[in-house]
Structure 1
Amino acid sequence: MSLLIVAYMAGVLTILSPCILPVLPFVFARAGRPFVSSTLPMLGGMAMTFAAVATLAAVGGRWAIHVNEYGRYAAIALLALFGVTLISSRAASFLTAPIVSLGNRLLNAGGRPGEGEPSGKSLVLGVATGLLWAPCAGPVLGLVLTGAALQGANAQTSLLLLSYSAGAATSLAVALFIGGRVFAAMKQSLGVGEWVRRGLGVAVLTGVGAIAWGLDTGVLARLSISSTTTIEQLLLDRFKSGTAASSGKVAANSMSLAADDARQGFRSGLPVEGHFPALDGAVEWLNSPPLTREQLRGKVVLIDFWTYSCINCIRTVPYVRAWAEKYKEQGLVVIGVHSPEFAFEKNVDNVKQAVKDFKIDYPVAIDNDFKIWRAFQNSYWPAHYFIDAKGQVRHHHFGEGDYLKSEKVVQDLLAEAGRDEAKKTTVRPDVSGAEAAPDFANIRSSETYIGYQRASNFISPEGLKADVAENYSKAKPNLNEWGLTGVWTVGPDRGTLNQPGGSVTYRFSARDLHLVLGPSANGDPVRFQVTIDGKPPGESHGADVDRYGIGTVKQTRLYQLVRQKGEVLERTFEVRFLDAGVEAFVFTFG
C-alpha cells in the first residue's frame, strides 16, 4: 500500500515536468465544459491509456512497441484535427459531425438525449492524449518496470502503473479546474470567448507541432530530468527508509546503536538506514573467496552495484577503484556486485575480462540471479551503499557523481570506527576514454535501445520488425532518430546483422557517442568504420576507433566511437560493419 501511495504522489508531481507542456493545451481546451460528461471521460481515457501502454512495456512482446509507435502517429493526427476545430467553427462542424452524430445516437439510445459535445469524444481525446503523455515518466515508473523485468509483470505492476497515472490525472484535473476559473473570468469580463477558443486551437496545434518534432520526448523530456526526478527520488528514499523503520527489529537495534554512539562519541551525524543485508546468492566471486556480513563485522564496507556495459557505471569505476586502494589499510572493504542488465553480462568470462580491463582488484560478486540486488531492495545502476563497522547501512547514493560527498562518508565512517588516521584529502582519478566525466552542458541525446522491447525513434521505412530478418533501407534522421541499413534481425534486446555491409545511423548531439556491441555468435571479430556527417571522424574519433574511423568488435562491451573536439554540434553518425554477425544493443552519450 505504501508503494502505491508513493506511485500516486509521483504521478501528481508529473504536472511539474516540462515534457507535459505539449499536453496541457488539450486539457485546458476542456475548460468551461461539464465535468462529468467532458472532463472526467478525458482524464479517465488518459489514465487508462497510460497504464495500458506502460503495462505492455513492462510485459514486453514484439507487438507492444508497435502499439505505442502507431498509436502515437494516430494521436498526433487526431489532436491536430481537434486544434483545427477550435480555430474554425466551420471546420469543427464538418470534421466532428460523424463523432457528434454517433455520440448523440448513443446518448439517445441510453434514454439521455444530450446537448453539445458527447462524452465519447472526450474519452477518445483522452485516449489520444494518454498515448502522447506516456513517455513522461520518472524514477517511480523506472522502478516499476525494472521490477517487472526482474520478477515478471504481475497484478501489482499494473496497480502501481495505474496509481501513477491516476496521480497525474489528478494534478491535471486540478490544473483544469484552475484554468477553467481563469477562462471563465476572461469570457465574462472581456467578452472574447471566440478568441479564447481560437487561442486554444493555436496552442493545441503548437503542442502537436512540438510533439511531431519530438520535443515532448527529446528536449522537454531531458529538462524534466532536472525538475521532477529529484522530488521523485526523495519520495522513493522516504519510502525505503520508512519501510526499514517499520520493522520492529531495525527500530530496536537503532535505539541500541544510538546509545552506543552516545557513549563512544558519535561524529558523523549519518542516520541509520537499516541492517547490512546478506551477501548470499552470488553465482561466483572474483578477486576473493565468498564474503559474508559476519566476516566483515568491524570493517567499513562500500557496496557498488554495477554492470560492465553501463556507461554510468563505467564513469564511477575510477572513483570506486581509487577509494578501495586509498582506504584499504584503514579498514575499508569495497565489494562490487555485478548485476547484469543484458544476457551477455551474465557470462562470467565476459565479466572477468571487464574486471581485468577496468583494473578492478577488489572483490566482485557475480549476482546473475539478482539475489543480492533484491536483498538490498535496489533499483539502480550504479548504486552505492555505505555500511559502518557495526553492520548498519548509513548512507546510499544512486547514479554517478557526488563523489566528494561519498568520499566524505567513507572518511566519517572510518573515523567512527576509530581509524583517525584516515586521510582527509580526496581522490582525483586520472581518467580517459569512456571513463571520463560526461559533458552534461552539451548532452541533447539520451540512451537509445536497439532491441524492439525498448526501441524508440526508429525511422527506417520498413518499420522495426521483431525476430525476423528484414532488409532495411536508409532514411535521413532528425535529431535523436536512428535507422538501419542492410539485413538485420532485431530481437528483444539487440539487433543482429545477417550480411556484411549493414549499418546503423543516428542523428545525435553530445560530446561522446557510445554503442554497446558484440562480435558474431561464434566469436569471430567484426570490422567496422565510423563516419560523422559522411566523413572520417579525424580528431573527433572515440577511444575505440582511429582517426579514420576504423575499429574492430572483439568482445561484447561498450565502445566509445565519437568524442567531438572543440564545439559540440548536432551530427549524423554512421557505423558500417564490414563483416556479418555483429550484435548492437544500446546507444549512450556523454
Structure 2
Amino acid sequence: MTATDKLRIEGRLPELGGATAWLHSGPLTPAGLRGKVVIVQFCTFSCINWLRTLPHVKAWDRKYRDDGLVVIGVHSPEFPFEHDLEKIRSALEPMGVDYPVAVDNEFAVWRAFDNAYWPALYFIDPEGRIRHHHFGEEDYERSERVIQRLLTEAGSADVDEDLVSVEPDGVYLAADWGTLGSPETYVGYARATGFASPAGLARDRSRVYVEPSRLQLNHWALAGDWTVGEQITTLNEPGGRIVHRFHGRDLNLVLGSRAGGGPTGFRVLLDGEPPDGARGLDIDERGNGTVGEERLYQLIRQDAPIMERTFEITFLDAGAQAYVFTFG
C-alpha cells in the first residue's frame, strides 16, 4: 500500500469475553488493549489454509511486538477434537505459537466479529477501531504495510519499513496455485461432494462400500465397511480404503482414530504404486504411516509435472477416522 491509501473505519474491536479459555495470557479486553495496535486472527489447528499463513503471522509478532503490536489468535474449532483444550495446547506449542490465543469453543468471539472464514485477519488501531481485514491466505505484503501504517499512526518511532523474510517449508509452504485443480473435499455427509461409490452415502450407519472402476477428477470413493457421519467417517473393519482422483502438488487429509482405539496404521499408493519421491511428511517412501493424534496429515508432495493422479489410502486397523482432504 502507498502513503496515500486510506484505511477506513470498519467497526470496533468487540468484547472477547465469550472465550472459554486463554492460552499464553489472561483474558484480554478492548479496554485493556487501548493504545496498542492489534491483529486478531481466527484459526483452527487442523486447517491447512491457516497453517500456511502462520509463518508470516509469527514473523510479524516477533518483529513488531516491541513497537506496540499485539497478536491475538482466536481458535474457533471446525471439528469436535479441536474443542479439547489440551489438544489445542499440544498442537500449537510445537508450531511456536506463543502469542495470546482465545479458545472460542462456543463461537462467541466469531459471532461478535460476524466472521465467516478460517483464516481471517482483523487489524485494529490504538483507538480500538477495525481499520482493515483480510480473509484467506496471501496478501502478506499489504497486511504488513497496514501493520506498519497503524504503528506509525500510533506514534511508534522508526518502524522498520522492510518486509519480513519468510521461507516456509513442510505444511507451511504456500500452495502451488498455478497447478492446483482440486478443491477442499469433506468426507462427512454434511458437506460431502464428489462421492462416487455406487448407491451413495448411507448416513450414520454401517455400510460396505465398493469403489467404481474409474474415478473422474475430484471424485472420491470408499471401499470396505464404513460409517459416514455428519463430519466424521469411521472405518468399522480393517482393510478399508479411501480413493481420490486429484490434481495438485500436495494432498493432505485430516485423520484421527476412534476414542480408545489407539494408533492406526495405513498405507498410501499413488496411481497404484508406492509414492517414493512424492511422499508427504507423514509417510515413508513405501507409503506407510500411522495415525496417532487427530490432525492434518501431509500424505503427498510431488514435483512437476503436476497432473491428475489417483490417491489411495488403506487402513490396517478398524477405528480410523477421516474428515477432509485439502490440496496445495
Structure-2-length-normalised TM-score: 0.96
- Select the residue among 294, 301, 304 that pairs with 1:563: 301
2:67 matched residue in structure 1: 330
The AA in structure 2 aligned to 1:531 is L
2:310 matched residue in structure 1: 572
CA distance in 2, matches of 1:269, 1:584: 45
- 1:443 and 2:180 correspond: yes
**Deviation digits for residues 375-400 of structure 1 (CA, Å, limit 9, x no counterpart):** 11111111100001111111111111
Cα shift at 1:523: 5.1
CA distance in 1, matches of 2:253, 2:170: 13
CA distance in 2, matches of 1:507, 1:284: 41
**Deviation digits for residues 505-555 of structure 1 (CA, Å, limit 9, x no counterpart):** 000011111111012321511111111001111111111112111111111
- Select the residue among 44, 47, 56 that pairs with 1:319: 56
CA distance in 1, matches of 2:289, 2:96: 23
1:229 matched residue in structure 2: none
Cα shift at 1:462: 3.6
The AA in structure 1 aligned to 2:265 is R
1:474 matched residue in structure 2: 211
1:343 matched residue in structure 2: 80
Q: Which deviates more from structure 2 when the two are superposed, residues 491-500 or residues 343-352?
A: 343-352
1:584 matched residue in structure 2: 322
CA distance in 2, matches of 1:577, 1:446: 24
- 1:355 and 2:59 correspond: no
Q: Is the 8 A contact 2:261 2:319 kept in 1?
A: no
Cα shift at 1:301: 0.2
CA distance in 1, matches of 2:19, 2:144: 27
CA distance in 1, matches of 2:55, 2:229: 33
Q: Is the 8 A contact 2:196 2:221 kept in 1?
A: yes
CA distance in 2, matches of 1:422, 1:364: 25
**Deviation digits for residues 46-90 of structure 1 (CA, Å, limit 9, x no counterpart):** xxxxxxxxxxxxxxxxxxxxxxxxxxxxxxxxxxxxxxxxxxxxx
Cα shift at 1:267: 7.7
1:405 matched residue in structure 2: 142
**Deviation digits for residues 166-193 of structure 1 (CA, Å, limit 9, x no counterpart):** xxxxxxxxxxxxxxxxxxxxxxxxxxxx
1:534 matched residue in structure 2: 272
Query: RMSD in angstroms over aligned alpha carbons?
Result: 1.3
The AA in structure 2 aligned to 1:352 is R
Alignment of 1:246-265 (within 5 A): none
Structure-1-length-normalised TM-score: 0.54
Cα shift at 1:458: 1.1
Q: Is the 8 A contact 1:515 1:586 kept in 2?
A: yes
1:501 matched residue in structure 2: 239
Cα shift at 1:438: 0.3
**Deviation digits for residues 303-340 of structure 1 (CA, Å, limit 9, x no counterpart):** 00111111111111111111111111110000000111
Distance 1:377 1:341, change over 3 A: same
2:202 matched residue in structure 1: 465
Aligned residues: 325
Cα shift at 1:268: 6.5
Q: Which has the higher contact order (CA 8 A, sep 6+)?
A: 2
Between structures 1 and 2, the one with greater strand share: 2
The AA in structure 2 aligned to 1:347 is D
**Deviation digits for residues 432-451 of structure 1 (CA, Å, limit 9, x no counterpart):** 11110001111111111111
CA distance in 2, matches of 1:477, 1:418: 59
Secondary structure, counterpart of 1:369 in structure 2: coil
Cα shift at 1:272: 1.4
Cα shift at 1:287: 1.1
Secondary structure, counterpart of 1:559 in structure 2: strand
**Deviation digits for residues 94-151 of structure 1 (CA, Å, limit 9, x no counterpart):** xxxxxxxxxxxxxxxxxxxxxxxxxxxxxxxxxxxxxxxxxxxxxxxxxxxxxxxxxx
2:256 matched residue in structure 1: 518
- Select the residue among 135, 159, 165 that pairs with 1:428: 165
Alignment of 1:40-79 (within 5 A): none
CA distance in 2, matches of 1:426, 1:503: 45
CA distance in 2, matches of 1:402, 1:579: 42
Secondary structure, counterpart of 1:294 in structure 2: helix
1:310 matched residue in structure 2: 47
- Select the residue among 30, 34, 44 that pairs with 1:297: 34
CA distance in 1, matches of 2:267, 2:87: 24
Alignment of 1:88-107 (within 5 A): none
The AA in structure 2 aligned to 1:299 is K
Q: Is the 8 A contact 1:268 1:413 kept in 2?
A: no
Alignment of 1:2-21 (within 5 A): none
The AA in structure 1 aligned to 2:182 is S
1:392 matched residue in structure 2: 129
Q: Is the 8 A contact 1:267 1:412 kept in 2?
A: no
CA distance in 1, matches of 2:189, 2:147: 42
1:485 matched residue in structure 2: 223
Distance 1:420 1:267, change over 3 A: farther
1:131 matched residue in structure 2: none
CA distance in 2, matches of 1:375, 1:514: 31
CA distance in 2, matches of 1:287, 1:545: 33
Alignment of 1:260-299 (within 5 A): 269-299=6-36
Q: Is the 8 A contact 1:268 1:416 kept in 2?
A: no
Q: Is the 8 A contact 1:528 1:577 kept in 2?
A: yes
The AA in structure 1 aligned to 2:26 is P
CA distance in 2, matches of 1:421, 1:588: 41
Percentage identity across aligned positions? 52
The AA in structure 1 aligned to 2:149 is D
1:419 matched residue in structure 2: 156
Structure 1, gaps ≥5 residues long: 1-265
Cα shift at 1:430: 2.5
2:292 matched residue in structure 1: 554
The AA in structure 1 aligned to 2:253 is L
- 1:369 and 2:115 correspond: no
**Deviation digits for residues 389-424 of structure 1 (CA, Å, limit 9, x no counterpart):** 111111111111000000000001000111122211
CA distance in 1, matches of 2:311, 2:124: 44
The AA in structure 2 aligned to 1:512 is D
Which structure has the bigger radius of gyration? 1
Secondary structure, counterpart of 1:496 in structure 2: strand
CA distance in 2, matches of 1:281, 1:368: 9
Secondary structure, counterpart of 2:52 in structure 1: helix
CA distance in 1, matches of 2:169, 2:290: 20
